[in-house]
Amino acid sequence: MTDSRPARILIVDDEPALREGLAETVSDLGHVPILAASGAEALARVADDPTIAAVLLDLRMPGALDGMAVLQRLRARPAAPPVAVLTAYASAENTIEAMRLGAYDHLTKPVGRAELADLLGGMLARPARPIEPPAPAAAPGLIGTSEAMRRVQKAVGLAADSDATVLLQGETGTGKEVAARALHAHGRRSTGPFVPVNCAAIPADLLESELFGHLRGAFTGATQDRAGAFREASGGTLFLDEIGDMPPPMQAKILRALQERVVTPVGGRPVPVAVRVVAATHRDLPRLVAEGGFRQDLFYRLNVVPIVLPPLRERLADILPLAEHFLALAGAGTTRLSPEAAALLMRHPWPGNVRELRNVIERAALLARGPVIGAGDLGLGGSVPEDTEAALPAWLGDDLPGAVARLEEAMIRRALRASGGNRARAAKALGIQRQLLYAKIERHGLGRDDAASGNTTPGVGNPDA
């Protein structure tokens, strides 16, 4: 049962309009907003006011104390309030790092009234987990800002420092090894080795030696001792890829190794191991268990922390950023996608997921005869219909931040026109706070045209209500 009394909520943001907008909504939700314009001010307020029940923290702030530094210091306090990080610049790295450092959640701005109400309800009902943050780790990978991918990033951040076994599930090509490497790189074992083993690629009669090692002379061809993957990964992470393809006899031995943290080299004696295990499979393990093809007890031992990697068709917002990333990796820094090519990428079903997208972009970057990759250069066996091409704005050929800014400006202009210039109604139609709309109007220079008559009219209620 939660306390219904007003809670004191600290709002930390260096932009006055966003700070005031959040404060207005927090107040409307029945709580008491406390404002801070910098990281130093936020830490001082928490130190002076033990009744602060939750913190809404901006990520990018000027000065030595950005949001991540403030989060780390707040979470180091013995009775730290739960902290939610809010940012307009969400990335895989800052999402994982924020969750690893103990953030209750990591949300992208703007945050609507309903989302904020749910967030505060959860924060006030259950404080964030205590944590002793290790040294930060930087790692690429897990690119994407779609909701599906952000769920993965948050799960990776929460699980990174744990020694619990993680089971990564998803279709072929969804990036399970990338997620495994992110778990390793962002966790306390990041200074140790990361040892990947593809269980489907190694013959069954060699898999035991590959994983557990052997002594010289243990079998024909064993001319010297071998440590095996479990011991090679000591102090780090062992990644067992395609574990659903592991033969039944090896499943029993892996189960014992996971339960007892002991491995027995072929021809040798049991040896203790200290390793974090991350497993992955594209197979439906519960179905395999039901059919007798996979041990039920091993499934439960692996499935301590399950993380499901979404297929690319469920990550539409990530397709173009991934394509740009793969273009950069291919060394095609001056090459860009045409609007037609971008539209075709968005329409393709991607049965091979991210791996297929990477192959398509690398091939196109190699074969394109100019600085612009057209739809025909992608080799996807399709093209954009003529009416679709005509409807595409020319600025889709710009860089991604520029295209997003143009889309934002167009949506604001349309909302202001539809509301007769009433900013309160326009903000409500756009699903953002009124103060945030004011800031965007100023940023796009709309104050003298579309928004000229946009002062809120008498009788208009709270746009966030």
The arithmetic mean of pLDDT across residues 328-353, rounded, is 86
Average pLDDT for 212-224: 78
Question: Which residues are bridge partners to 11 per DSSP?
Answer: 35, 56
Q: What are phi and psi of 5, to 5 degrees?
A: -70, 155
Q: Looking at per-residue confidence, does 83 or 146 come out higher?
A: 83
Distance CA 220, CA 209 (A): 12
What pTM does this model have? 0.71
Whether residue 355 has pLDDT greater than 60: yes
Give the pLDDT confidence score for residue 452 in this predicted structure: 41
- DSSP label at 311? P
pLDDT interval class at 58 (50, 70, 90): very high
Contact between 431 and 112 under an 8 Å Cβ cutoff? The reply is: yes
What are the tokens at 109?
A: 């701005």
Check pLDDT > 90 for residue 219: no
pLDDT of residue 252: 93
* CA distance linking residue 315 with residue 428, whole number of Å: 27
Q: Identity (one letter) of the amino acid at 10?
A: L
Q: Is the preceding omega at residue 110 within 30 degrees of 0, hence cis?
A: yes
The residues with which 87 forms a beta bridge, in sequence order, are 108
The architecture that CATH gives domain 8-125 is: 3-Layer(aba) Sandwich (3.40)
Copy the structure tokens of residue 302.
Answer: 């692996």
Residues 6+ apart with CB under 8 A from 462: 24, 28, 424
Residue 432: its pLDDT value, please?
Answer: 75
In tens, the pLDDT along 111-127 reads 888 899 999 998 998 65
**Is 60 exceeded by the pLDDT of residue 1?**
no
Looking at residue 428, what is its pLDDT?
A: 77
pLDDT score of 64: 79
Parts of the chain belonging to CATH 3.40.50.2300: 8-125
CA distances from 50 to 2, 34, 105, 126, 303 (A): 19, 12, 21, 17, 39
Average pLDDT over residues 31-47: 93
Q: 239-243, 415-419, 442-446 — which one is most confidently predicted on average?
A: 239-243
pLDDT of residue 4: 58
Q: 169, 303 in Cβ contact below 8 A? A: no
- Who wins on pLDDT, 147 or 31? 31
Query: How many helical (H) and strand (E) elements, i.e. helices and strands, does the chain have?
Result: 19, 14
Task: Average the pLDDT over 232-248 and give the result.
Answer: 94
Position 136 scores a pLDDT of 41
- 203-208 own/partner pairs: CB under 8 Å, 24+ apart: 204/247, 204/249, 204/250, 207/246, 207/247, 207/250, 208/250, 208/253, 208/266
**CATH 3.40.50.300-classified regions of the chain:** 147-308
- At residue 443, the 3 state secondary structure works out as helix
Task: Return the structure tokens found at 264.
Answer: 């027995």
The answer to whether residues 84 and 107 touch, using CB atoms and an 8 Å cutoff, is yes
Answer left, alpha or beta for residue 415, where phi above 0 means left and psi between -120 and 50 means alpha. Answer: alpha
Query: What are the tens digits of pLDDT across the range 397-410?
Result: 555 666 667 777 77
Look at 424 and 98; give whichever has higher pLDDT: 98
- Backbone phi and psi for residue 33, each to the nearest 5 degrees, phi listed first: -80, 135
Q: Which CATH superfamily is domain 147-308 in?
A: P-loop containing nucleotide triphosphate hydrolases (3.40.50.300)
d(CA 237, CA 277): 6
Question: Could you tell me the CA-to-CA distances from 251 to 195, 282, 296, 346 in Å, in that order?
Answer: 19, 17, 10, 40
The mean per-residue pLDDT over the stretch 250-266 comes to: 92
- In the prediction, which pLDDT does 147 show? 86
Residue 34 backbone phi and psi in degrees, to 5:
-115, 130
Q: For position 330, what pLDDT does the model report? A: 83
Beta strands in 127-234 (DSSP E): 166-169, 194-198
The pLDDT, as a whole number, for residue 126 is 63
Top-level class of domain 312-397: mainly alpha
Res 395: pLDDT: 52
Question: Who has greater pLDDT, 298 or 452?
Answer: 298
Inter-helix orientation angle 92-100/67-75, to 10°? 20
Which residue, 72, 101, 107, is CA-closest to 89?
107
Does pLDDT of 131 surpass 50?
no
**How far is Cα of residue 146 from the mean position of the Cα atoms in its chain?**
8
Rounded Cα distance between 176 and 179, Å, is 5
